[in-house]
Amino acid sequence: MNFIKRFLVVMITALSLAFGYQFYSDVSLQGGFRNYWESRQKASELSEALSLVNAFYVESEPVTLDALTESALAGMISDLDPYSEYLNFDKLKQLEEETSQEFGGIGVEVEMRERVLTVVAPLEGSPGERAGLLRGDRIVEVNGESIKGLNIIQSVSKLKGTPGTSVAIGVERGVEKERVDIEVMRDLIEVDNVRGSEMLEEGLGYLRISQFGKRTSSELKASIDALIEAGMRGLVLDLRNNPGGLLDVAVNVVELFVPDGELVVFTKGRHEMMNEEWYAENSGQTYNFPLVILVNPGSASASEIVAGALKDSGRGKLVGEKTFGKGSVQSILPLSAKTGLKLTTAKYYTPGGYVIHENGIEPDVVVELSPKEEERLYIQRSRLKSMPLEEFVERYEFEPIEDKQLETAKRLLREELGESRW
**Which residues have a catalytic role annotated?**
301, 312, 326
The kind and range of the H/E element at 340 are strand 340-349
Q: Determine the Cα–Cα distance for residues 112 and 126; give it in Å rounded to an integer.
A: 21
Question: 193: closest CA among 98, 295, 124?
Answer: 124
DSSP codes joined into one string, 42-93: HHHHHHHHHHHHHHH-SSSSPPPHHHHHHHHHHHHHHTT-TT-EEE-HHHHH
Report the relative pairing of strands 317-320 and 291-295 from DSSP bridges: parallel
CB 380 within 8 A of CB 392: yes
Q: What is the DSSP letter of 212?
A: B
Q: Determine the Cα–Cα distance for residues 53 and 324; give it in Å rounded to an integer.
A: 42
CB 247 within 8 A of CB 421: no
The C-alpha angle 171, 177, 182, rounded to 5 degrees, equals 20
**In 10 A of CB 171, how many CB atoms?**
22
What are the backbone angles phi and psi of residue 226, rounded to the nearest 5°?
-65, -40
CB 200 within 8 A of CB 410: yes
